[in-house]
Amino acid sequence: MSFGSGIPAVGVDALSAEDFLLDVREADEWAAGHAEGALHIPMSDFVARFGELTEKAPEGAQIKVICRSGGRSAQVTAYLVQQGLDAVNVAGGMQDWEAAGRPVVDGNGAPGTVI
């Protein structure tokens, strides 16, 4: 599956618990609800915080990039691919994640919601 001009993408149904997930939504979206275990680096801070990703991503792991619906994550995925990293956009984003019944937690680890 691809998003836009050849950006690699996968659906939520293709994700496993072992996947490395990068959430690029803003802080209020993250606090309301996110996938447990995801790394949070907002798109607005991404270039400045790029080093956090390279430090925390397991070596050789494919980076699954997610946002609310797939637009912002597609842009970050394109950037990561340009940097030579193995990255894919999660099509449908956290909206599809939540709709598929996958767990969403808030900033305190309690059940959350996608905004």
Catalytic site positions: 67
Residues 15, 112, 25, CA angle at the centre, nearest 5°? 65
Cα 30 versus chain centre, distance = 11
Please, which residues have CB within 8 angstroms of residue 36's CB and are 6 or more apart in sequence? 103, 105, 109
